[in-house]
Amino acid sequence: MLLPGETNMQRRVGVYFATTVLIISLLTACRTRSAPQENKLDENKEADKQAAINAVLAHEQACQTYDFVKLDFLYTPDAREIEESYPHPPEPELRQFYQSMKDAGVRIDYRPQDAVAEVRGDVAWVTLTLHSVWTADTPAARAILGGSVWHATFAESFILVKTPEGWKITFVHASMLPPNFGVEPDYQQEHGGMKLVKVPEDGPAGKAGLKSGDVLIEYGGRKIDNYIDYSRLVHAYSEGEKVTVTVMRGHEKITKEVTLEAMR
């Protein structure tokens, strides 16, 4: 029924207007209600990330203090690890390794950094760089380390699952990084040495006086004919050790001593 003076068009416009106002009001109310919920979800996710990182840091702490009870607690029963091997259960090899270090008197100082976590529901992925200093105070420890002090840097990735007891490690992959020589080689040169395409001045080789364009022909007294020869020796020395190298610079043969650094 139309009111006096009201047309069908006027009534239709009025209905559309009222409907639009109602929809806008509902959407505004939904946004108002969802914003705190979204903030809460973000806060929970950040808390989960930190909790997963804390579990990984607790793992590193337990390793360096030989706390085997803590290590057992931090792993799931079906956990697997890869460290220069195929996937396998951490035990008994993990315990045997650290027990041998403990028995020999090796002191371990782990220095984790750059820990990053990503969380998807009840699964977390954590990566970090692990610098380490291993110190020997006994003849047995020095025999294991090959000296009084050994430095090493590891790149580690962890997969964790959320349990009623907190985040636990279900998979870990660790690889030891080679020490940093500080050069960018020519990978395609087949013979005659390894050409150094780039030698940053602030890197180990640059500090020792090597330059871009030099051709590496000896590394630690061993002949280098190409990149493959060099790649076989990258783990022959550790961070902080000095290695004698010889390069050809044009027709000049130059020998330098390079102090290797931690990989950056």
Q: Above 90 in pLDDT, residue 258? A: yes
pLDDT above 50: residue 254: yes
129's CB contacts (< 8 A; 6+ apart) are 112, 113, 114, 153, 154, 155, 156
Cα–Cα distance, 167 to 163 (Å, whole number): 6
User: Which pLDDT belongs to residue 2?
Assistant: 41
Exposure of 126 by Cβ count < 10 A (0-12 exposed, 13-18 middle, 19+ buried)? buried
Residues 95-153: tens digit of each pLDDT = 999 999 999 999 999 999 999 999 999 999 999 999 999 999 899 999 999 899 999 99
Does the pLDDT value for residue 18 go beyond 70?
no
Q: Are strands 123-136 and 106-120 parallel, antiparallel or unpaired?
A: antiparallel
Strand partners, 229: none
CA distance 97 to 95: 5
Distance CA 220, CA 243 (A): 5
CA 178 – CA 207 distance, rounded (Å): 19
CB 233 within 8 A of CB 220: yes
Q: Tokens 């951490």 — which residue?
A: 90
The whole model's pTM is what? 0.76
User: pLDDT class for 84, splitting at 50, 70, 90?
Assistant: confident
CA-to-CA dists, residue 127 to 53, 121, 147, angstroms:
9, 18, 30
